[in-house]
Structure 1
Amino acid sequence: MMFDARERSGAALALGAVCLIGGSVAAASRLHGFPLIGGQAVRYAVATVFLLVWARRRKHTFVRPTRVQMVWIFLLAAMGMAGYGIVLVYATSMTSPGNVGVALGAAPLIIVLVQSILARTRPSRSLMGGSLCVACGSAVAQLSTSGAVQWSVQGLVWSCLALTGVCAITLLGAPPTKELGSLTVTTYACGLTSGMLFLIALILQAVTGTPVLRRPTAVEFSALAFLALGVTTVVFLMWYGAVERLDASRTGLFNGLVPLVSLLALSVTGTGSAAINQIAGATLVLFGVALGLVVKKRDTTTPGACAAEQVTDRSPRG
């Protein structure tokens, strides 16, 4: 079927978000020696300020969340933002970014399965097939030259935790976005995340003596700035904008491109190069995304479908 203008813009937003997310793996690997919790707290504090300024310029009116919506936003802040940011840094210190990418490549499949379970519906064949292609393609792209990925137990655990965080961003963020809009949800969640992380950092300092912050080096400052403005602020607005236009399942397919973009970023920085298996994996992932996006509209508007599948922006606009 032909995509309408809304769906095309959603795909463009998701693709743009993925390009920035792909660079976050390389940026996170630069922060292994920086106070982790405090650094992430600063990241989300800066993002919150930027979002508030942006909302003021747009004359955006924030809607007060209901109790149920605040539960969704709190879980998003704890698992999808604070949790994922911390886990990603640990994961890239425990194993190579390529191994982390294998786990992240399975995100589309998990998102589709969870959405189907919640909606009590069977996923369409094209969506399920596309998700499988994305997951398999991501894994193929991350194979070593010997044809196998060398996992450590710690690396596997942390990579799977990173996968959980990636899935949480879509699954937990979609329901409140339906009623509040992407800007409101992102701003509330970033503010909660920052406060949550600062509190944890202060507790750790009191118990273990771990410093909350220190003066960053030039490289660390650049990484924090990229994560705060590029990955946190812009990515979340673009990602939930895509969810509003496509739906959670089809937007989640673009997660499969994250490890491939990460490989490209590593190649650009001179720390890696594209191998035959990576090119083959990229081709399979692109095919999977295209296949999964070709979902008949009746499949995405089935009666009784999960709220996250029918996201629209109902936030007041100035």
Structure 2
Amino acid sequence: MTGRREDGRVTWNQQERIGAGLGALSVALIGGSVAAASLLHDYPLLGGQAVRFAVATLVLFAWGLARRHRFRLPTGRETVWLVLLAVCGMAGYGVMLVHATSVTEPGNVGVAIGAAPLFIVLVRAAQTRTRPALRLMAAATIVFAGTFIAQASANSGLQWSVEGVVWSLAAMIGAASITLLGAPVIPTLGSYTVTTYGCTIAAIVLLGTSAGIQISTGATMLRVPDATELGALAFLAIGVTVLVMLLWYGAMSRLGASRTGLFNGFVPLASLFSVALVGTGSIALTQLIGAALVLAGVLLGLSSRDESASRSQRQEEPASTR
């Protein structure tokens, strides 16, 4: 556990330092997912996401078998959480992210995801029936303020698009759901099993939905992607769906859900630079100001040592590393 030295400085144990590193690395990839999603606007939405999760499922099962990972069958209660995670946090987030980047600036979508910490802190407190730490609440509020400032800006100045705000917030809720819906089952099933089962369910739901729509409407749900689309789908399947989920849940097992959720605040910085790099957006001064405010809130939240936060973290830590 963390503590304070006699001079008042915060000390972190090795597991927490590893968790912070995993969280930071996963966020860099999440920021890249915003840029990748912005390259898929002309590709069938549900079909593309179905392929993404199907590929991720095959990779996860193949790697699990190679390392002789034991996939324990979930209980009825765990199955409910896994289905919710797959539908809302995985498939839902993927679909909403691609659509959100098609109706507003991709950089703004990434910044909106930075508001996830406030949502996570409040909902996680309700889940665990604990009072949220005051510093965590203050940090999450600062993150939300930075998100609001950046979301209200665009390359040409202020942009108040109701559709853009709604879909950006929907993507934020989807991102938060990955943390909130994964937290109840990670301690018992382990991060690898949760990720694999979640991707499997998401792939089945998306493939079934895509097939049903194509049969009923005749709309094309799948086609051969061009080089750019193939690269974006591959990055989303391997770099985001597989690696991010494993890194993120590894961080959660060491830091707890609330503090790990604060790392969503780094997404604005990663996404703003990634969309500028691939040429689907540019960086405005107000976006940088908002992102800097988000970063300040994240750093404040990570320094939280409130007793209730520590108590919540102990409840979330698994009995053994999986």
Superposition TM-score, scaled by structure 1 size? 0.92
Q: How does 1:8-47 map to 2 (within 5 A)?
A: 8-47=17-56
Most deviating of 87-96 and 99-108: 99-108
Q: How does 1:152-167 map to 2 (within 5 A)?
A: 152-167=161-176
Q: How does 1:110-121 map to 2 (within 5 A)?
A: 110-121=119-130
3-state SS, counterpart of residue 151 of structure 1:
coil
User: Aligned equivalents of 1:261 and 1:137: distance in 2?
Assistant: 15
| 1:310 matched residue in structure 2 | 316
User: Aligned equivalents of 1:203 and 1:107: distance in 2?
Assistant: 32
Q: How does 1:108-187 map to 2 (within 5 A)?
A: 108-144=117-153, 149-187=158-196
3-state SS, counterpart of residue 183 of structure 2:
helix
Unaligned runs of 5+ in 1: none
Q: Taking structure 1 as reference, are residues 278 and 33 closer, same or farther at Cα in structure 2, changes over 3 Å only? A: closer
- Per the TM alignment, residue 58 of structure 1 is displaced from its structure 2 partner at its CA by 2.5
| 2:58 matched residue in structure 1 | 49
- Per the TM alignment, residue 140 of structure 1 is displaced from its structure 2 partner at its CA by 3.0
- Identity value in percent: 52
- Per the TM alignment, residue 143 of structure 1 is displaced from its structure 2 partner at its CA by 4.5
User: Aligned equivalents of 1:145 and 1:70: distance in 2?
Assistant: 42
- Per the TM alignment, residue 274 of structure 1 is displaced from its structure 2 partner at its CA by 4.1
User: Aligned equivalents of 1:236 and 1:212: distance in 2?
Assistant: 26
Q: Is the 8 A contact 1:22 1:258 kept in 2?
A: yes
User: Aligned equivalents of 2:155 and 2:29: distance in 1?
Assistant: 30
Mapped pair 1:85 → 2:91: no
Name the Cα RMSD after superposition: 2.1
Unaligned runs of 5+ in 2: 1-9
Deviations 1:97-142 (A, max 9, x none): 1332343121100100111122232211221111112222233344
Q: Taking structure 1 as reference, are residues 278 and 36 closer, same or farther at Cα in structure 2, changes over 3 Å only? A: closer
The one-letter amino acid of 2:114's match is G
The one-letter amino acid of 2:100's match is A
User: Aligned equivalents of 1:269 and 1:205: distance in 2?
Assistant: 32
| 2:7 matched residue in structure 1 | none
User: Aligned equivalents of 1:164 and 1:137: distance in 2?
Assistant: 17
The one-letter amino acid of 2:44's match is P
Mapped pair 1:259 → 2:265: no
Deviations 1:141-187 (A, max 9, x none): 44437996413222222222112211111100111111111000000
Count of aligned residue pairs for this structure pair: 313
- Per the TM alignment, residue 232 of structure 1 is displaced from its structure 2 partner at its CA by 0.4
Superposition TM-score, scaled by structure 2 size? 0.90
| 1:193 matched residue in structure 2 | 202
Q: Taking structure 1 as reference, are residues 285 and 147 closer, same or farther at Cα in structure 2, changes over 3 Å only? A: farther
User: Aligned equivalents of 1:191 and 1:242: distance in 2?
Assistant: 22
Q: Is the 8 A contact 1:72 1:176 kept in 2?
A: yes
Q: Taking structure 1 as reference, are residues 145 and 205 closer, same or farther at Cα in structure 2, changes over 3 Å only? A: closer
Most deviating of 139-148 and 101-110: 139-148
Mapped pair 1:295 → 2:304: yes
User: Aligned equivalents of 1:282 and 1:134: distance in 2?
Assistant: 8
The one-letter amino acid of 1:252's match is G
